Amino acid sequence: MKNNKKIYIETYGCQMNVSDSEIVASILTEHGFENTHEVTLADIVLVNTCSIRENAEERVRKRLQYFKSLRKKRPELIIGLLGCMADRTKTALMEEEQLLDLVAGPDSYRHLPQLLAQVGTGQKAIDTILSTDETYADITPVRLDSNGVSAFISIMRGCENYCSYCVVPSTRGQERSRDAASIVREATDLFVKGYREVTLLGQNVNSYDWKTGNTAINFARLLEMVAQVSPLMRIRFATSHPKDISDELLYTIARNSNLCKAIHLPVQSGSNHMLDLMNRKYTREDYMERIQAIRRIIPGCAISTDIIAGFCNETEDDHRDTLSLMEWVGYDAAFMFKYSERPQTLAADTLDDNIPAEIKDRRLTEIIHLQQKLSLAKNQDEIGKSLEILVEGSSKRSNNQYFGRSSQNKVAVFNKTAAGEGEYIQVKISGATSATLLGEVV
Ligand code: 5AD
Ligand code: SF4
């Protein structure tokens, strides 16, 4: 039943949040709300937030101030906060700054229709209780901002690794896996609708674990089940924890041509001292052994990572260990951050955030420069090869060109031909920058 109320959802942070916003859109459209991409048309603005670094929170605060200014002109506008910042900041944002009408945490999205009804009666509405079993398994996400080719599927929620810098265990709660059959159904449904690539998402997909009858389905098995939806459907996943990326998983990827040959394996630091303080539960040597296993079992597999610069007590030697490990692995790509202390984490409670800002900045810059060099070298290795590219859309620079990705997750740009979005095309690579491959259709 339509209620003529239009919802505008803005998403910050990781892929998981993008996926959550699609779940929210689905729940609300089921209850008669309509989505809009135009904030000026919205009756309700929902901001899906991220707490992982301080600057992410700052961006959200600024945006909320902007929405508050819109409400001055349209007092009936409802402003809601979703996601990881919900529980942590609700009191400050709701009471002190009068910014919000509604706050809903990551496990409360099914209650949004009731919470919005409560706001309609002039009350504020808050629900940030975390669940031990909510996975939204039965909900078919509404694909927002979709290119119609690639989509995310959330396969588990929460995290219990307690890396000492990380706020996720406190904002997203206990780890739980989603019913495997519902994941395969969602992938099949996407394929039928024309999608050709899915990314299976979880904070730590390697610990996926679902029991049905007497059978236990682990992540390797789940990947193979999704791979069988169609050989034309590419499958990616994020994120893996180095401590439990198994040989079984690597052999599964090697065996199935539609399981993409790209692994994101966040290392965070190359120093054993830092890894220990970070509570990562592996050493530099363990990590190197896993990289060797990937290289042995899946030749040509791309490897990307996350790195944190300037964690507590990090010395120049620790920093150099990170640089040398980056060189040794030769990462194809990396997400690089400077450490930002988060409340309610082990590091905030027990360690001193004692690396001065200028040193964090300088170390991060060195890491970024090195990665640019490594990415360029890796991309130049592709020159002369013919790669199978899944076309995603028109290139941002030129309407006469398409862009798409290789199995190794490299972005390639090439002149348009008869093939279109969602099709596979062979492209011969003729040039490379650190971010993009250039080529011609063969
Ligand atoms: N400071 C800086 N980076 C962080 N990350 C997580 N928490 C923090 C923090 N407190 C980074 C890690 C993680 C990625 C998603 O974000 O590298 O893998
Ligand atoms: Fe955070 Fe570590 Fe869990 Fe990743 S694995 S979400 S870094 S606690």
Last residue of a domain, one of 325, 344, 378: 378
Mark whether 19 and 161 lie in a shared domain: no
Last residue of a domain, one of 330, 359, 378: 378
Alpha-carbon span 127 to 125, nearest angstrom? 7
Ligand 2, pocket-test mutation among 176, 203, 306, most atoms within 8 A of CB? 203
pLDDT given for residue 128 in this prediction: 94
Mark whether 260 and 172 lie in a shared domain: yes
**Whether the CB of 429 sits within 6 Å of ligand 1:** no
Contact predicate 379/437, CB 8 Å: yes
Q: Chain centroid to CA 141: how far?
A: 16
Query: What is the gyration radius of the CA atoms in the chain, in angstroms?
Result: 22
- The pLDDT of 354-368, averaged and rounded, is 98
**Whether the CB of 199 sits within 6 Å of ligand 1:** no
Mark whether 348 and 395 lie in a shared domain: no
Q: Does 245 map to a domain?
A: yes
Strands (E), 90-187: 102-104, 125-127, 150-154, 156-157, 176-177
Alpha-carbon span 44 to 78, nearest angstrom? 5
Share of the chain above pLDDT 70, in %: 99
132-159 pLDDT, tens digit each: 999 999 999 999 988 999 999 999 999 9
Q: Does 369 map to a domain?
A: yes
Question: Any idea what the CATH number is for the domain that residue 87 is in?
Answer: 3.40.50.12160
CA of 154 to the centre of ligand 1 (A): 20
Band of the pLDDT at 96, cuts 50, 70, 90?
low
Q: Does 357 map to a domain?
A: yes
pTM of the model: 0.94
Q: How many CB atoms lie within 10 A of CB 258?
A: 17
pLDDT given for residue 319 in this prediction: 98
Mark whether 119 and 212 lie in a shared domain: no
- Name the domain count of the chain: 3
CA of 304 to the centre of ligand 2 (A): 16
Angle made by CA atoms 331, 335, 340, in degrees to the nearest 5: 135
State the virtual CA torsion across 417, 419, 425, 426 in degrees, nearest 10. -30
Q: Where are the alpha helices (DSSP H) in 94-241?
A: 112-120, 168-172, 180-192, 219-227
- The pLDDT of 1-24, averaged and rounded, is 92
Question: Any idea what the CATH number is for the domain that residue 296 is in?
Answer: 3.80.30.20
**DSSP 8-state class, residue 179:** P
Q: Does 416 map to a domain?
A: yes
State the virtual CA torsion across 195, 153, 396, 46 in degrees, nearest 10. 120
Nearest CA to ligand 2 atom 5: 161
Helical axes 112-120 vs 15-30, angle rounded to 10°: 60
Band of the pLDDT at 57, cuts 50, 70, 90?
confident
Question: Any idea what the CATH number is for the domain that residue 414 is in?
Answer: 2.40.50.140
Mark whether 118 and 220 lie in a shared domain: no
| Domain of 425, in residue numbers | 386-441
Q: Does 145 map to a domain?
A: no
Mark whether 370 and 415 lie in a shared domain: no
Mark whether 95 and 28 lie in a shared domain: yes
Ligand 1 nearest atom to the CA of residue 345, by list position: 10
Band of the pLDDT at 87, cuts 50, 70, 90?
confident
Contact predicate 223/261, CB 8 Å: no
Q: Does 17 map to a domain?
A: yes
Give exposure, 42-57, as e/b (b: 16+ Cβ within 10 Å): bbbbbbbbbbbbeebb
Residue 93 has pLDDT above 90, yes or no: no
371-424 pLDDT, tens digit each: 999 999 999 999 999 999 999 999 988 889 999 999 999 999 999 987 889 999
Ligand 1, pocket-test mutation among 84, 170, 265, 308, most atoms within 8 A of CB? 308
Phi, psi of 188 (to 5 degrees): -65, -45
Contact predicate 209/157, CB 8 Å: no
Mark whether 113 and 188 lie in a shared domain: no
Residue 95 has pLDDT above 90, yes or no: no
Q: Which of 170-174, 277-281, 333-337 has the lowest mean pLDDT?
A: 170-174
Alpha-carbon span 228 to 246, nearest angstrom? 21
Mark whether 184 and 330 lie in a shared domain: yes
Band of the pLDDT at 4, cuts 50, 70, 90?
confident
**Cα separations (Å) of 436 from 149, 321, 377?**
19, 28, 12
pLDDT given for residue 419 in this prediction: 80
Band of the pLDDT at 290, cuts 50, 70, 90?
very high
Ligand 2 nearest atom to the CA of residue 280, by list position: 2
198-256 pLDDT, tens digit each: 999 999 999 999 998 899 999 999 999 999 999 999 999 999 999 989 999 999 999 99
What's the chain's average pLDDT? 95
Contact predicate 80/43, CB 8 Å: no
Ligand 2 nearest atom to the CA of residue 268, by list position: 7
pLDDT given for residue 306 in this prediction: 98
Q: Does 38 map to a domain?
A: yes
Mark whether 369 and 390 lie in a shared domain: no
Mark whether 343 and 391 lie in a shared domain: no
- Which helix (H) or strand (E) covers residue 300, if one does? none
- Joined together, the tokens standing for residue 245 give 């990326």
Alpha-carbon span 291 to 296, nearest angstrom? 9
Ligand 2: residues with CB < 6 A are 159, 161-163, 166, 168-169, 203-204, 241
Q: How many CB atoms lie within 10 A of CB 213?
A: 5
Mark whether 192 and 307 lie in a shared domain: yes
CA of 138 to the centre of ligand 1 (A): 30
Residue 20 has pLDDT above 90, yes or no: yes
Last residue of a domain, one of 331, 353, 378: 378
Residue 94 has pLDDT above 70, yes or no: yes
Nearest CA to ligand 2 atom 4: 203
Ligand nearest to the CA of 307: 1
* Beta bridge partners of residue 237, listed in sequence order: 200
Q: Does 135 map to a domain?
A: no
